[in-house]
Amino acid sequence: MSEVHCFHIQEGRGIRRMASPKAAFAARSEGGYVWLDFLDPVRADLEAIAPVLDIHPLTVEDCLDEDQIPKIEAFATHTFIIFNEYAYEDKRLTVEEWDFLVGQQFLVTVSGHQAPGHGTFEKIEASAQRLLKSVEKGPDHLLHLILDRIVDGKLLPIETLEADIEAAEEGMLRTVAGFKLEDLVLLRHALLAMRKSLFHEREILMKVCRMDSPFISEPAIFHFRDIYDHLVRYFELCEMNRDILTSLMEMYLSLINNRLADFANRTNSHVRRLTLITTILMPMSLVSGIGGMSEWSMMTGPEHWRVAYPGLLAAMGLLGWGTYRFVKWIELRDLRREKRPFLK
């Protein structure tokens, strides 16, 4: 549901809540500036204030578009800034867009596209009341207060994601078979979304700190530099975690390959045993096949069966033992060749 909060802020008079944007604009003639906070607005809400504040139609479109990357755009009457707020839970990242329009005597904030009623506004209002002397100086100081809270709130999702990466590493080392590669993919998607957002937000603060916006005064620039330092640190954390995730994926593939190689070695060992048994039994089977026929009795004579058949069994055993020794000699020879160092 769409909501709008209207305030008139004047030095020495503090923050006064107004009933409507029209009442806030009327109070602006007394001095100070207005703050209009829109929560999940519709087009009519923004188009109602656009002629009064001379807001560009493209800015209105961007405020209603939920799929925008962080950016800064300069217009004649205002500067338009898009920032992102994070919410991370169950390996899934939710990105909430914040739109800011800062001018000479006004600040317009638009939020609540993804999570209406998230309660951030109440925290910002309480901080503004607590830092009243700073907020009274102008809309750029209020903009700093809101951006500072949004940027500080990014640390918890980043730390939570780091904890999930560490848990994934421990789970992978504990058991590769029970580990799910989908967990790493989800972490990677969330991390890349954070990195993309932080990269653009860092560029925004860089432009603000070099005073590209005429609506952000030089005294306020020193406060924005602190936000820039935080964004640089968070971006470095994302870069570090991205390298860790890449290493984890490579380690996972390596462990899987090792398991497959181990299975292949076991299969080869079983096949070699079966081959050895078959190699030993084949000549024995040949001899027994010949000796088991009547030709053997005819060759040795039926009256000599007491000596002929034990001799046949002894020949089979001797042939089997000789074949076994020959195969083992071949295996030992190959093993020595494998262990022999390469000639330099």
CB 47 within 8 A of CB 54: no
pLDDT at 343: 42
Full-model pTM: 0.75
Q: Residue 126 corresponds to which tokens in the numbers above? A: 């309480």
Predicted pLDDT at 302: 65
pLDDT band at 127 (very low <50, low <70, confident <90, very high): confident
Which residue bears the tokens 């809400």? 45
Radius of gyration of the chain (CA): 39
Q: Indicate the range of 2-16, 87-101, 295-309, 311-325 predicted with least confidence.
A: 295-309
Grade residue 179 by pLDDT with cuts at 50, 70 and 90.
confident
Confidence of residue 304 (pLDDT cuts 50, 70, 90): low
Which band of pLDDT confidence, cut at 50, 70 and 90, is reported for residue 266?
confident
Residue 305: Cβ within 10 Å count: 13
Task: Confirm if 246 and 165 have CB atoms less than 8 A apart.
Answer: no
Q: What is the pLDDT confidence band of residue 163, given thresholds at 50, 70 and 90?
A: very high
| pLDDT reported for residue 296 | 59
Sheet strand arrangement including 92-103? 14-18, 3-10, 33-39, 106-111, 92-103, 78-89, 71-74
